[in-house]
Structure 1
Amino acid sequence: MTVVSNDQITKAPDGGWGWIVVMASFMQHALIDGMTCTFGIFYDDILATFNEGSARTQVLSSIIVGVSFLIGPFTGVLINRFDCRSVAMVGGAVGFMGTLLSTFSKNLNIMILLYGVVGGIGLGLVYSPSLVIVSYYLDKRRALATGIATCGSGVGCLVFSPVNQVLIDTYRWKGALWIVSAILFNCTLFAVVYRPLKFTNRKNNPVEPIAMSSNANTSFDLKKTVDELKQSLKTITVPFFTDSAFLLFMTSSVLVAMGIQIPYNLLPTFALAKGLSDSDGALLISILGMSNTVSMVLSGLVADYPWADSILTYSVPLLIGGVASVFVSCYSDFITLAIYCIVIGVGIGTYGDLRLQTYEFILGYYNYAGVYYAGAPV
Structure 2
Amino acid sequence: MALNFQPSLIMLGTYFDKRRPLANGLAAAGSPVFLSSLSPLGQVLLEKFGWRGGFLIMGGLLLNCCTCGAVMRPLDMAKKKPKKGKKLLDFSIFSNRGFIIYTISKFILVLGLFVPPILLVNYAKDTGVPDTEAAFLLSIIGFIDIFARPACGMVAGLKWVRPHVAYLFSFAMLFNGLTDICSARASNYTGLVIFCVFFGISYGMVGALQFEVLMAIIGSQKFSSAIGLVLLIEAFAVLIGPPSAGRSRAAKQNTGVGFASIPWYCRYRGWAK
Q: Give the TM-score category using the shorter length.
A: 0.7 to 0.9
Matches within 5 A, 1:358-373: 358-372=213-227
The alignment partner of 1:158 has SS state of: helix
Given the superposition, is the C-alpha separation of residues 263 and 174 from structure 1 closer, same or farther in structure 2, using an over 3 Å criterion?
farther
Using structure 2 for the length normalisation, give the TM-score. Answer: 0.77
Which residue matches 1:289? 142
The offset of 1:207, in angstroms, is 6.4
Residues in 1 aligned to 2:174 and 2:17: alpha-carbon distance in whole angstroms: 29
**Aligned partner of 2:123 among 246, 264, 270:** 270
**Aligned partner of 2:35 among 137, 153, 157:** 157
Q: How far does the alpha carbon of each residue in 1:121-154 deviate from its partner, in whole angstroms, 9 at most, with x for none?
A: xx11111111111111122211101110011111
Identity %: 28
Matches within 5 A, 1:268-347: 268-308=121-161, 309-347=164-202
Which residue matches 1:148? 26
The offset of 1:155, in angstroms, is 1.0
Residues in 1 aligned to 2:59 and 2:93: alpha-carbon distance in whole angstroms: 38
Residues in 2 aligned to 1:281 and 1:173: alpha-carbon distance in whole angstroms: 20
Residues in 1 aligned to 2:109 and 2:82: alpha-carbon distance in whole angstroms: 36
The offset of 1:209, in angstroms, is 5.1
Work out whether residues 99 and 218 of structure 2, in 8 Å CA contact, stay in contact via their aligned partners in 1.
yes
- Counterpart residue type for residue 222 of structure 2: N
Work out whether residues 116 and 180 of structure 2, in 8 Å CA contact, stay in contact via their aligned partners in 1.
no
The offset of 1:210, in angstroms, is 4.5
Matches within 5 A, 1:169-208: 169-198=47-76, 208=80
RCO greater where, 1 or 2, for CA within 8 Å and sep 6 or more?
2
The offset of 1:302, in angstroms, is 0.8
Q: Which runs of 4+ in 1 moved over 6 A?
A: none
Residues in 2 aligned to 1:368 and 1:185: alpha-carbon distance in whole angstroms: 27
Residues in 2 aligned to 1:287 and 1:359: alpha-carbon distance in whole angstroms: 29
Residues in 2 aligned to 1:130 and 1:247: alpha-carbon distance in whole angstroms: 23
Work out whether residues 13 and 220 of structure 2, in 8 Å CA contact, stay in contact via their aligned partners in 1.
no
Which residue matches 1:375? 229
- Counterpart residue type for residue 352 of structure 1: G
Q: How far does the alpha carbon of each residue in 1:198-247 deviate from its partner, in whole angstroms, 9 at most, with x for none?
A: 27xxxxxx662549xxxxxxxxxxxxxxx97xx333xx12x221222211
**Aligned partner of 1:232 among 78, 84, 88:** 88
Residues in 2 aligned to 1:366 and 1:350: alpha-carbon distance in whole angstroms: 25
Given the superposition, is the C-alpha separation of residues 172 and 328 from structure 1 closer, same or farther in structure 2, using an over 3 Å criterion?
farther
Residues in 1 aligned to 2:18 and 2:134: alpha-carbon distance in whole angstroms: 40
The offset of 1:330, in angstroms, is 2.6
Work out whether residues 154 and 289 of structure 1, in 8 Å CA contact, stay in contact via their aligned partners in 2.
yes
The offset of 1:369, in angstroms, is 3.4
Which residue matches 1:19? none
Using structure 1 for the length normalisation, give the TM-score. Answer: 0.57
The offset of 1:174, in angstroms, is 3.1
The offset of 1:291, in angstroms, is 1.8
Alignment size in residue pairs? 229
- Counterpart residue type for residue 151 of structure 2: L
Work out whether residues 179 and 195 of structure 2, in 8 Å CA contact, stay in contact via their aligned partners in 1.
yes
Q: How far does the alpha carbon of each residue in 1:51-110 deviate from its partner, in whole angstroms, 9 at most, with x for none?
A: xxxxxxxxxxxxxxxxxxxxxxxxxxxxxxxxxxxxxxxxxxxxxxxxxxxxxxxxxxxx
